[in-house]
């Protein structure tokens, strides 16, 4: 079966269905796949690091011994708990072999009490035998792991810092999330580094000013600034900023996401203002950082909700296009930024 809706996935990870023997976690962001696999492993067995109950394999192990996978799935737990066989794939060369094992194990061919957990990268729907096998078997589940959205990143920051009894206020959280890399594993390292900086157990809730020594000066190539340039009608600046961001490792999907976030803040601000709130008050409620407030308010006085409604389909279209395999995502992002800037210029910005 397929589990793709967030509520269904979260529910399954919190309490795995006892009838499911195989789970395939796959996606472009290896950090998200790994985090979900760790969460699921902890639910399947009380000792996810115990070598007597858990077998941890890679595709290289399968290359070295073709019978290793079937042997591990057939073995019984030595300590009396549920056995976990965890396979991490770094390539698709073992796709058909693992697919056959999924079909057989889901059908009860091996130890029915063993749980088969597979971690893989991006798997094309039509070309991956492994994905097809996991989706087709009644006792298996295929779970796509999408790249984190800003809300996911913010939640990860809050939850990770809370474990060390430190936190960030709303402005500091917005600044820190905007600066984090989108790859989950790297982002988690940065969050842990921040926790050490704030002092584990200190109970400190840091402000944006408190973060300045930790973050340093925000780089020119930040995607949030590129988005602000686009909505402010500064096409050349927006394009140059996106190219600098690309040189620093920020790809097209992140750029389109930043433009969508800026549009969302403008929409929320204008909606609140339409309901009677002051424009400055509405901007603050929309999460606008005080250093960007002056420019943001200038834009909010020129853009209208109708203008944003007309622009929204282009942003959504660019986001979908960036996620297609082999898409020129950097070019897509630059074209979107130029289109936004062109509309802003027509509005007088």
Q: Over the stretch 303-324, which tens digit does the pLDDT of each residue have?
A: 999 999 999 999 999 988 887 7
pLDDT at 301 over 70: yes
Could you write out the DSSP letters of every residue in 116-145?
EEEEES---TTT-HHHHHHHH-TTEEEEE-
Tell me, yes or no, whether 330 lies in a domain. Answer: yes
Q: Is the same domain home to 204 and 328?
A: no
Looking up tokens 């790994």 gives: 34
Q: How many CB atoms lie within 10 A of CB 46?
A: 11
Predicted local distance difference test score (pLDDT) of residue 166: 93
Tell me, yes or no, whether 43 lies in a domain. Answer: yes
pLDDT at 218 over 70: no
Q: Is the same domain home to 98 and 11?
A: yes
Predicted local distance difference test score (pLDDT) of residue 343: 94
* Nearest 10 degrees: Cα torsion 280, 286, 287, 293: -30
- Find out whether 249 and 181 touch, Cβ atoms under 8 Å: yes
- Please give the structure tokens belonging to residue 155: 């939640």
The span from the CA of 63 to the CA of 168, in Å, is: 47
Predicted local distance difference test score (pLDDT) of residue 91: 65
Q: Is the same domain home to 192 and 297?
A: no
Helix (H, G, I), strand (E, B) or coil at 143: strand
pLDDT at 8 over 90: no
Tell me, yes or no, whether 1 lies in a domain. Answer: no
Q: Is the same domain home to 13 and 113?
A: yes
Q: Is the same domain home to 154 and 138?
A: no
The span from the CA of 222 to the CA of 228, in Å, is: 10
Average pLDDT for residues 160-185, to the nearest whole number? 84
Predicted local distance difference test score (pLDDT) of residue 30: 79
Predicted local distance difference test score (pLDDT) of residue 153: 84
| Percent of the chain with pLDDT strictly greater than 90 | 30
Total domains present in the chain: 3
Q: Is the same domain home to 14 and 137?
A: yes
Higher pLDDT residue, 179 or 188?
A: 188
Predicted local distance difference test score (pLDDT) of residue 220: 40
Q: Is the same domain home to 129 and 160?
A: no
How would residue 25 be classed by pLDDT, with cut points 50, 70 and 90?
very high
**What is the domain-level CATH number for residue 37?**
3.40.50.300
Helix (H, G, I), strand (E, B) or coil at 256: helix
Q: Is the same domain home to 119 and 89?
A: yes
- Is the pTM higher than 0.75? The answer reads no
- Residue-range definition of the domain harbouring residue 93: 6-144
pLDDT digits (tens, 9 = 90+) for 264-289: 999 989 998 888 888 988 888 887 87
Domain boundary among 120, 144, 168: 144
Q: Is the same domain home to 311 and 251?
A: yes
- Please give the structure tokens belonging to residue 295: 């420019």
Domain boundary among 215, 246, 264: 215
pLDDT digits (tens, 9 = 90+) for 100-133: 999 999 988 888 888 999 998 888 877 788 989 9
Choose the weakest-confidence range: 178-182, 228-232, 303-307. Answer: 178-182
For the chain, how many residues are written?
Answer: 349
How would residue 80 be classed by pLDDT, with cut points 50, 70 and 90?
low
264 φψ region: left (φ > 0), alpha (ψ -120 to 50), beta (else): alpha
């Amino acid at each position: 079966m397929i589990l793709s809706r967030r509520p269904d996935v979260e529910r399954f990870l919190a309490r795995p269905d006892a009838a499911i023997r195989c789970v395939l976690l796959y996606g472009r962001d290896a950090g998200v796949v790994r985090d979900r696999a760790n969460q699921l492993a902890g639910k399947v067995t009380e000792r996810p690091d115990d070598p007597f109950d858990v077998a941890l394999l890679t595709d290289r192990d399968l290359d070295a011994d073709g019978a290793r996978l079937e042997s591990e799935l057939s073995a019984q737990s030595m300590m009396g708990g549920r056995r976990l066989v965890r396979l991490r794939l770094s390539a698709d060369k073992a796709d058909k072999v693992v697919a056959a094992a999924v079909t057989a194990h889901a059908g009860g061919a091996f130890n029915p009490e063993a749980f088969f957990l597979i971690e893989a990268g991006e798997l094309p729907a039509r070309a991956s035998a492994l994905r097809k096998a996991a989706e087709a078997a009644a006792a298996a589940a295929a779970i796509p792991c999408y790249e984190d959205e800003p809300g996911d990143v913010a939640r990860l920051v809050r939850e990770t810092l809370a474990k060390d009894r430190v936190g960030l206020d709303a402005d500091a959280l917005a600044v820190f999330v905007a600066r984090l890399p989108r790859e989950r594993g790297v982002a988690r390292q940065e969050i842990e580094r921040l926790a050490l900086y704030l002092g584990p157990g200190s109970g400190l809730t840091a402000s944006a000013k408190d973060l300045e020594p930790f973050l340093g000066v925000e780089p020119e190539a930040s995607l949030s600034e590129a988005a602000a340039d686009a909505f402010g009608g500064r096409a050349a600046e927006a394009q140059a900023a996106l190219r600098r961001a690309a040189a620093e490792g920020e790809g097209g999907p992140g750029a389109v996401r930043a433009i969508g976030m800026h549009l969302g803040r403008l929409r929320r601000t204008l909606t609140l203002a339409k309901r009677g709130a002051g424009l400055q008050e509405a901007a603050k409620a929309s999460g606008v950082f005080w250093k960007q407030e002056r420019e943001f308010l200038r834009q909010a006085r020129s853009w209208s909700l109708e203008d944003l409604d007309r622009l929204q389909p282009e942003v959504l279209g660019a986001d979908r296009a960036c996620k297609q395999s082999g898409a020129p995502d950097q070019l897509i992002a630059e074209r979107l930024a130029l289109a936004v800037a062109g509309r802003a210029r027509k509005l007088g910005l």
